[in-house]
Each structure stands twice: as structure tokens, then as C-alpha cells.
Structure 1
């Protein structure tokens, strides 16, 4: 069974501007969902807690081989168990490393405030440098894609290629629907039924997402964890245009987070050498909806990148 480190739990962390679980009962609820979700994953080859200047980052290695690893970054309120549907296929492409984002609920533990996007790129760069001396392929879904892009523009030497799955705040903003979900879902006093409806809305209409371990995980993260993260800033257009590594962006045509076609149009204008696609039937929960198709597309993309 996966072991949790000593986490930030309780009101003594309020005011310190680091992420923490509001109370012990909420932490236990989240940990139970994390453990249940983790049991659905393939066997872990190695578990590592990586020290950085902003806290300890939990990393897991899956699969074997000497190929350049693919690093997976989850979305907001999520963590490694989010990748249950994706890991079997992606492990067939190359070794995989998953990270729990610092400042979000998970097994990473924040110790110092993250004040801006420079700090957010710094901890990720530190963690990857400790895990791999060479540049790695980085895939992020949702805000994990923003974290990957933020790393690429500030520490391009760490990134061999960049893959974005329906990631906002990179080539465009978000819709009013997403703002509604973001504000409503994190209110501590919100009834669980309302939170479930918001989670279903963003997940493409899944009737009961909390019946799934990853749904329980995200719902508990929304309810039980207080995050203190800086306002997400879009990378400057000139920084994005200067990127030279191979880039693949896949956006959901049914996503409520952003207008996929407008986002892809902006991306192609800024990075004409990149590969940007709209998958019409995908929602923001694209990684869980199309795991086999994503694995096949990533294999093709990385094969061409390696060549």
C-alpha cells in the first residue's frame, strides 16, 4: 500500500500560505480515496520524495527501459491516481514518472509559499533535475499542462518535448463556465450534491463521478484541502513563440474550460511548427475518456520527436 508522508493538516497551517488539509477527518477522507485509487494503478517501480526549496515532491516511476521518461502532471485538485486509465498504455510507449503537484492535494508537502509563476517553475525544475539528469518529455492535463508550459518557457533545458491535454492559460483564458466551477467547487460549506454536479459538469456529464476513485479524490481535494497558489498567468506570447522543443496540444471540443477551436487557432499562430488538434467528442476529462487514443497519439508524436 502506498505510504503518505507527514502532511500539512489542521488550522495551525492557516495563514502560512501553504497548502494544507483543513482538518484530520478531511485528510483521512482524502488519503483513503488516494489509496483506493492507487490500487488501480500498475505496479510502481520506485517511490521517491524529492526535496526542493518549496517542499517535498512525491514522484513515482512506472515501467522499465532506458528511453527518455515521460513525466505526467495532473490537473488541479488531482494527483497520481488520476492516471489510472492512462498508465497501462503510456508505459508501453516508454518509462513514466508521475508527480503530485506541490501546493495541491496529494502526497507532495509544501513548506514555503509559492509567490508567482517563477516559483512554480522553480520547484518543478528542481524536482526533475533530481530525478533525471537529461531533459524529459512532459505531459500535463488541464492546469498540469500549464505547469508544463510554464516550465518550458522558464527552464527549457529540462524539457525534451511538451504535450498539453486541454490545458487552459497557455494559449488562451477560460470560459465563464469554468470560472463558475472553480469558485463554487472550493467553497468549504458547499453541499456535496452540488459539488458532485459541478464535478460532473466539468467531466463531460459523467452521472456520478464520485463513484470512481479518482472522482472521490478530486471531490475530497475540493472540499478538504486549502490551496494558496498565485493567480495563474499566461506565458508571454514572445516566450511561447521562442520555444524550440516539439509540442503537441490536444483540446476537447466539448470542454467547458475553453473554446477549443479558438485556442488551437492561437496556438498555431504562435507556434506554426507545433501540432495542435481539436478532438470533437472529448470533454475536459479527455485523459479518462480516450486513454487508448492518447497513448497511440503520444507514441506517434514521441517517435517522430526521437527521430
Structure 2
């Protein structure tokens, strides 16, 4: 069972939040607290991340099945990037479990990029020489600005280990950047919420999105990139709350 962090709120349809690659439930604390003002919110650590168990596989069928096991009642679901793909597969395979679906800056397609750079960078950190996060950050200096600070949220300083199953994430990278071949549909209300500066959800992807999610609506948050929830948290939370309401 996945590790979860719950934020109590007034009675209403609970919201389940699934983070992206290299993330964790704790990354979503600010957003979750804000959204819990009007409903219960549950954020999860996906498999091979955070405090959740490690497994030998990391397919979207796996991730969707994990999410389904967390849900003891129908929920609205919000997923970002990898978590957005998992949320889409969950809605397609278990539509009875999902009320409204919000997909943050990702499309149901295979991407050409890889995320092996951060994995190799984390593998390259000599944790025996790390006394504090600044030491670790200095060893991640080749990454893009902002990425080291994000990755360091998954560094367990006490145990001197990453809370990420780097070997399996690397081995399953083709599945992570891909998307399973699914012919089902989710007819429920769906919002594809993207960063205005991001190219992860292109206009050319909309036909494929509409094939799977006929009720899909699209919105962009100006001035935000792929990490739309972190770059524009107030605007992101407001857009999610408005859609759910």
C-alpha cells in the first residue's frame, strides 16, 4: 500500500493527488492544504518514491493499480506529469472510481525526452562525503537551476540514501516516458491544466486526448512551465478549485 498524507477538510468528494517523477507527497503540501479548505485531500508517495514500497516494476498499469487500492470510495483525482499519466490510466481502467480528473502538464503520448540525466546525477553523488544538503547540492551543480533543490527533497540525510528507487526508475524509463495502448474512454469531467510556457501538451495532442477523454477541457496558466504547481501555486490551486467546484 502506498504511503499517504491526509489533509482533513469539510465533507465532500475527496481529492487524490499523484506527484510526478522524482517527487513525493510532501512536494504538494502547500497545494493540498489550500485545497483541503473545502474537501478532504489525500496525497500519495508513488511506488519507488518517498516512503512508499519499492517494487521491481514501474509501469502505468502498476501505478494506476496502486492508486486504485488507496481509494476506499470514488474520488476526484489530480496528477502531475508521471502522476498525471497514472491518473489517466486509473480513470480509463476504473472510471467508477474517478469523479473529476485534473491532468497537470502532461498528455497521453510517448515523449522523446528522457529523465536519465537527474538519475545519473543522483547516482554520482558521493553520499559518504555529504554532511548537509549544501554538500549534496554542490555535487548536483551540472543540473538545470531549481532541479537540485527539487531532487534534494528526496534525500534522506539521516540514512544517507535517496528515497527513490533509482535502479528501477532507470530500467523502466521507456515505460515512464511512454503511455500504454488503451482504447477505453473516460467520459467524466476532465481538465488538462498546463503551464503557458510548457510544450508538454501541444495542440497537436488534442485529438488523441479527446479520443480518450471526450469531455476534456484545456487551460493554461500564464508564466508557468512544466512545474506549473510549484511556479504558480496560487493560480494553480485556484484553477483546480474552480474546476472541482
Q: TM class, shorter-chain normalised? A: 0.7 to 0.9
RMSD: 2.8
- CA pair 300-65 structure 1, distance change in 2 beyond 3 A: same
Spell out the pairing of 1:1-307 with structure 2 (5 A cutoff). 56-104=1-49, 106-110=50-54, 112-114=55-57, 116-128=59-71, 132=72, 134-167=73-106, 170-176=107-113, 179=114, 182-187=115-120, 188-189=123-124, 192-193=137-138, 195-200=140-145, 206=146, 210=149, 214=150, 216-218=152-154, 224=162, 225-227=164-166, 228-229=168-169, 230=172, 231-232=175-176, 233-236=178-181, 238-239=183-184, 242-255=185-198, 258=200, 260-264=202-206, 266-268=208-210, 271-303=213-245
Instruction: Give the Å deviation of 1:153.
Output: 1.4
Aligned residues: 223
SS at match of 1:281: coil
Normalising by structure 2, report the TM-score. Answer: 0.78
Structure 2: how far apart are the matches of 1:172 and 1:252?
A: 17
Normalising by structure 1, report the TM-score. Answer: 0.63
- CA pair 126-237 structure 1, distance change in 2 beyond 3 A: closer
**Stretches of structure 1 lacking an aligned partner (at least 5 in a row):** 1-55, 201-205
SS at match of 1:84: helix
Give per-residue Cα distances to partners, 1:151-182, cap 9 Å, x unaligned.
11122222111111112xx4333354xx2xx1
The equivalent residue for 2:130 is none
The equivalent residue for 1:41 is none
Instruction: Give the Å deviation of 1:199.
Output: 4.6
SS at match of 1:267: helix
Structure 1: how far apart are the matches of 2:12 and 2:142?
A: 41
Give per-residue Cα distances to partners, 1:33-56, cap 9 Å, x unaligned.
xxxxxxxxxxxxxxxxxxxxxxx3
Instruction: Give the Å deviation of 1:121.
Output: 2.2
Structure 2: how far apart are the matches of 1:279 and 1:194?
A: 33
Contact 2:105 2:201 in 1 (8 A): no
Contact 2:2 2:44 in 1 (8 A): yes
Contact 1:253 1:260 in 2 (8 A): no
Structure 2: how far apart are the matches of 1:284 and 1:68?
A: 27
Structure 2: how far apart are the matches of 1:268 and 1:60?
A: 32
Structure 2: how far apart are the matches of 1:185 and 1:219?
A: 13
